Structure 1
Amino acid sequence: MKPNSGAPRLLSLFSGCGGMDLGFKQAGYEIVWANDFNEFAGQTYARNFGDHMHVGSITEVDLTKLPQADIITGGFPCQDFSMISKRGGIETERGNLYTYFVKAVSEVRPKVFIAENVRGLLTANKGEAIKRISEDFAALGYTLNVKLYNFAKYGVAQLRERVLIVGVREDVEFTYEPPTPTHDENSYFTSGEALRGVESVLANNEHQNIKPKTRQLLELIPEGKNFSAIDPDHPLYVKGMISHVYKRLDRNKPSSTIIAGGGGGTWGYHFEEPRPLTNRERARLFGYPDDFVFEGSITEVRRQIGNSVPPVAARVVAEHILPAFTARCGATRLVA
């Protein structure tokens, strides 16, 4: 990546395919280093951003040798904090990967950091997870803002709730408050608007093969409804544990949350045609441009998209915090 003189330098951790990074790049930031352990996400990232992606476990990265940066961003692994999985939270090895984010902030001392995670982080371990994570970041000399965001309020065609932990170094004369929403229930960007013309896009737009029985099942579900719309006595009825099961889009509303994992029944389904969404359609619901090409199988790409931060919302936050990087810095306390 060519240097962008004067632009805030961004260091990206747990980068995935680069949804958050894309929003920051669009806002004018210079991404100087990125890391993710997933090979296919790394390939997607390199294709769309450049050769500053370092694929491998963060546990093997020498954090003392990270490049200088004004901001560190990233979404540490969320599976152990998810509302729809069996949570172990901070007691698990994956849950403790957040400590590498803390260590990176300690070493680099950026003016700002932004950590993203699922809603379940707020209640994991009976609230102890977010308490400990916040204490660890605050101990480094950062003022924190922890808030649950609905990204549909920032122009995303998806009702996607995620937690952002924003930390501002105490000597930086900038107070972070969440950006004012750009949309509300009367002006949400709808799935119908997001998918307009998508059939003309070639990349990542393959249709998945589904069984005739599944197609018949979907034909029983009206637009905007899920498995519960089928009569329990019908031979094609399936019992779902979560609302995502066989959920069809409503073209006049944002989609429900697009998830990364799960088997058939949780793929997200078209509002008009009785079929799963293509990955390009999923990408449209996140706000990825059509020239952003994903690498890997249909399943791998679905995972990358479902784990990512919508670039549209990331850009709103990125532009909102730009004043922090020109703000005056006063005295800062030493951190042990």
Structure 2
Amino acid sequence: MPSKQIANFNSSDNKPRILSLFSGCGGLDLGFHQAGYETVWANDFSHWACESFRKNIGDVIVEGDIEQIDPNDPTIPDCDIILGGFPCQDFSMIWKQPGLEGERGNLYKSFLRFVNAKKPKVFVAENVKGLLTANKKKAIQQIITDFENCGYYVQAKLYNFAEFGVPQFRERVLIVGVRLDTGFDFHHPEPTHNETGENGLKPYVTAGQAISNIPKNASNNELLKISEQTRKRLELIPEGGNYSDIPKEHPLYVKSMLSLVYRRMHRNRPSTTIIAAGGGGTWGYHFPEPRAFTNRERARLQSFPDDFEFVGSTTEVRRQIGNAVPPQGVVELARTLLPIFSGNYKKVDLHKKLKAEKDVLFHDRLSKIRGGKR
């Protein structure tokens, strides 16, 4: 049972040690901490994200360019697991995606350098859904092959975090690599939530449930000023609707190709995906109140607890929240991995299993990554 597994790691001396890369404000780390792990070293390039990480996760983060950091530096401790969400903008499906050819598309190789140098028992890398189609599907194939060549059995899976208790429809790819000599037969966890709460699962956590009863003194909860025109535009949009619900003949109608523009929440459903940046109309909007979400509401929709205090300007905090991995979305994965650190599992021949995987056409492997209906 997960609770018993967590109990095996209830002291700092025997908690699995995380080395965290592209850490951001620490959402991925927080989810693993909630399952009994501990971060011993972290890195990010963003000053304000590092400040938020330091305030909430721990004073173990190094601010700087990962491409300039040597993973063999003696000040970087050994670890049991490496976590990280290498930059995803070059794989995003919202904007035109250059993929591996983009300025940041090859930063996964820095993640690869650390894995190759530290040889953790397992690694977890997170990225956007667009990674699966970038460079005509060659990007994901190249990334998996590179990690396999480091001595890991790699399984990727497309998650919808609403299916793991996050009050938000958010699809992300999680790539998990298990070191071949461990013999740990990892399988991605099954969803814990669904729309109806049937078949032994819990019902989705809705946006209305998530943002109710926020304390008046909660941090990062300032209202964003919006124009009178925006307020009037929101009043024309129904619950769960967006800009397209405004009649074309109306003077406040706006043209857009993005469904997220002036998207208002539906109280009885998980939120649509929270994003990190964007111009007018992309903040995400409350219902029934004609206003933008506060950053604390956005944080709740990302499953951050109220005592997680973000550091920086309103725009900067929005960026940190939108870029983060929702902590609740990875808790079940973190629990699933715990036996590899306690040794309490039956070993399998991962070398043989990897050879069998490589004999399968990558197109068929990709269909497994996408899973069933999401």
TM over 0.5: yes
| CA–CA distance in structure 2, aligned partners of residues 225 and 332 of structure 1 | 48
User: Do the aligned partners of 2:184 and 2:348 also contact (CA within 8 Å) in 1?
Assistant: no
Query: Is 2:329 aligned against 1:313?
Result: yes
1:151 maps to amino acid: F
Supply the AA of the counterpart residue of 1:17.
Answer: C
Match of 2:54 among 42, 46, 63: 46
Q: SS of the residue aligned with 2:181?
A: coil
The question of 1:251 aligning with 2:267 is answered yes
Q: TM-score, normalised by structure 1?
A: 0.96
**Within-5 A mapping of 1:1-336:** 4-65=12-73, 66-186=76-196, 187-327=203-343
**Which whole-Å CA distance do the structure 2 matches of 1:331 and 1:236 have between them?**
63
Runs of 4+, deviation exceeding 3 Å = 328-333
Whether the 8 Å CA contact 1:81–1:95 is kept in 2: the answer is yes
Deviations 1:98-141 (A, max 9, x none): 00000100000000000000000000000011011111000011
Contact 2:185 2:350 in 1 (8 A): no
In the TM superposition, residue 331 of structure 1 has moved relative to its aligned partner by: 9.6
Number of equivalenced pairs: 332
Q: 1:38 to 1:133 in 2, by over 3 A?
A: same
Q: What SS is found at the alignment partner of 2:182?
A: coil
> 1:144, CA displacement in angstroms?
0.8
Q: Once structures 1 and 2 are overlaid, which stretch shifts more, 115-124 or 190-199? A: 190-199
Amino acid at match of 1:255: S
Distance in structure 1 (CA, Å) of the matches to 2:18 and 2:348: 22
Q: Cα deviation per residue 1:34-63 (whole Å; 9 max; x = unaligned)?
A: 000000000000011221010111011111
Q: Which amino acid aligns with 2:243?
A: F
TM-score (normalised: structure 2): 0.86
Query: Does the 8 Å CA contact 1:248/1:270 hold for their aligned counterparts?
Result: yes
* SS of residue matched to 1:166: strand
Q: State the distance in 2 between where 1:59 and 1:143 align.
A: 25
Unaligned runs of 5+ in 2: 1-10, 197-202, 352-374
Which deviates more from structure 2 when the two are superposed, residues 203-212 or residues 170-179?
Answer: 170-179
Distance in 2 between residues matched to 1:176 and 1:269, nearest whole Å: 39
Deviation at 1:330, TM superposition (A): 9.2
Q: What is the root-mean-square deviation of aligned Cα atoms in Å?
A: 1.6
What is the distance in 2 between the residues matched to 1:330 and 1:82? 36
Structure 2 contact 267–287 (Cα < 8 Å) conserved: yes
Secondary structure of the residue aligned to 1:171 is: helix
Moved more, 235-244 or 112-121: 235-244
* C-alpha deviation, 1:199, in angstroms: 4.9
Q: Is the CA contact 1:157–1:286 (under 8 Å) kept in the aligned structure 2? A: yes
Whole-angstrom distance in 2 between the partners of 1:228 and 1:133: 38
Contact residue 26 and residue 315 of structure 1 kept, 8 A = yes
Give the superposition deviation at 1:9: 0.6
Q: Which moved more, 1:3-12 or 1:131-140?
A: 3-12
Task: Compute the displacement of 1:298 (Å).
Answer: 0.7
The percentage of aligned residue pairs carrying the same residue is 57
CA distance in 2, matches of 1:331, 1:71: 21
List runs of 5+ in structure 1 lacking aligned partners. none
CA shift, 1:200, in A, is 2.5
Instruction: Classify 1:190/1:332 alpha carbon distance in 2 versus 1 (closer, same or farther; 3 Å).
Output: closer
* Structure 1 residue 195 displacement after superposition: 0.7
Matched AA of 1:257: T
- Deviation of 1:197 after TM superposition, in Å, equals 0.3
Deviation at residue 304 of structure 1 after TM alignment: 0.3
How far did 1:93 drift?
2.8
